[in-house]
Structure 1
Amino acid sequence: MKFKTLKSSEYKNLYFHRTEAWDWMSSEMIRVADSKSPRVITMDPWPQKIYLEALGQLTVEDYIHTVAKAYPKGNVPKDLDEIILDMLEDLAYGEKIISFSDVPVTLDTALLKPMTEEGEINIKGNWNGSYQYAIPDEFIDDRMIDVEFSITFNKVKGNTFTGTVKDDLSTGGTPGTGIIKGKFDNDTIYFTKNMPISATIDDTGKHFVDTNKKHPTLVYNGQFSRNKQIISGTWKFKSKALYFKGFIPRLVSRGTGTFVMNKS
């Protein structure tokens, strides 16, 4: 197939290669460490594919024709060359994580391989972490910004587990020792958290603890880091709560948020 934009492109005969270190965030997404500023770069699937294939051994023209051959006959997008050229320019001059060269480039191992080696999951034992709230600002106070906790997974059978959890009360945690139940695979983890004491927040941000009630069930969904030593993800209440604003009751989410935990 003839690509008109590619034919007149100044990058046509140039090789392209990575210039920044990278790592897997999940089984499908990578992150690129920007050595020029304190940030981590993530990408949509298309530019990520180009970045991972920026090995310095193909010219832009060769690469575009290689991608085109992967499409079924007659289904190659007419603007495929424009799309790839635009993404290459953005990665090179916008994000500044690839570069062009007149000659083939052999990547250093630090750029060729991910920053961390693939680890093996050993979930049993102690993990320390923190969770954060993602609820309207009027519900948040300083104690809810970063609540610390510790989890012990003490029984693991196959891909299921049970354990206990304790929040740090000094950082705004819920009192008591909770029960953890869940399951995991090589990439993800799911578990419920049940605390013995109810801790709620009213619409003024005031905290209430009711020792006669159990805390509503919390659901955690997370992903393992590549080395399997870090779990990060989101949490939410399993049920919703009834709030009264004026004389009209409203069924709303009790809150959601994020969490991260590290193997001790």
Structure 2
Amino acid sequence: MFRDNMKHFTVILLMLIPLSLGAKDFKEQYISRGMTYMSFGESIALTDPRNPRVITLDPWPEWIFFLSDGVHTVEQLMVEVESQYKNGIPKDVRDTVTSVIKQLEKEKIIVLRDEPKKLPYYLEVPKEKWDSELAKKLMLQDGFIKAE
């Protein structure tokens, strides 16, 4: 009986560990870009230096990508989105933003962090404006890409 109770206690304890280590609620997490990008007039194309692919985004995901600066939380991003509605905020806007963020995170287009972290040069500046040598050096230093 004691062993069964200990097993149950251990499972509960293990389930609580992430909470005790300071894991933040989704809305309290800081949102950062996870890919580099290029500008094309009013649009952008994401470039993934870890995989040979280019990604274009619809307006909502593109907007969220631009707002993902590493120093603002998901909640702050949601407030910014809501502020754009002058004639009343649609009731499902937070659900939509949450869904878009989770999809972008799944694709590694954005990254959620527990602490703020300013975007590095190569994620902040569009690729066509980079100093290529500096960008490559910083990406290697940060482990964003691997040495060839």
**TM-score greater than 0.5 by the shorter chain:** yes
CA displacement at 1:36 relative to structure 2: 2.9
| Correspondence 1:105-116 to 2 at 5 A | 105-116=117-128
d(CA) in 1 for partners of 2:127, 2:50: 17
Question: Which residue matches 2:100?
Answer: 87
Amino acid at match of 1:19: G
d(CA) in 1 for partners of 2:83, 2:95: 16
d(CA) in 1 for partners of 2:74, 2:47: 24
Question: Which residue matches 2:36?
Answer: 21
Amino acid at match of 1:34: D
Find the partner of 1:67 among 51, 69, 81: 81
* CA-based RMSD: 1.8
Question: Which residue matches 2:17?
Answer: none
Find the partner of 1:49 among 56, 63, 72: 63
How many residue pairs are counted as aligned between the two chains? 107
Greater C-alpha radius of gyration:
1
Post-superposition Cα deviations, 1:229-258, rounded to whole Å, max 9, x if no partner, equal xxxxxxxxxxxxxxxxxxxxxxxxxxxxxx
Post-superposition Cα deviations, 1:186-239, rounded to whole Å, max 9, x if no partner, equal xxxxxxxxxxxxxxxxxxxxxxxxxxxxxxxxxxxxxxxxxxxxxxxxxxxxxx
CA displacement at 1:27 relative to structure 2: 1.3
Find the partner of 1:12 among 10, 24, 27: 27
The alignment-based identity, stated in percent, is 33
Structure that is richer in strand per residue? 1
d(CA) in 2 for partners of 1:82, 1:10: 15
d(CA) in 1 for partners of 2:103, 2:111: 11
* TM-score, normalising length: structure 2: 0.67
* TM-score, normalising length: structure 1: 0.39
The runs of at least 4 aligned residues of structure 1 exceeding 6 Å deviation read none
In structure 1, stretches of 5+ residues that fail to align are 1-8, 119-264
Post-superposition Cα deviations, 1:48-93, rounded to whole Å, max 9, x if no partner, equal 01001100111111110121122114x2111110100101011111
Post-superposition Cα deviations, 1:121-145, rounded to whole Å, max 9, x if no partner, equal xxxxxxxxxxxxxxxxxxxxxxxxx
d(CA) in 1 for partners of 2:100, 2:49: 21
d(CA) in 2 for partners of 1:97, 1:115: 15
d(CA) in 1 for partners of 2:52, 2:77: 31
**1:31 and 2:30 aligned:** no
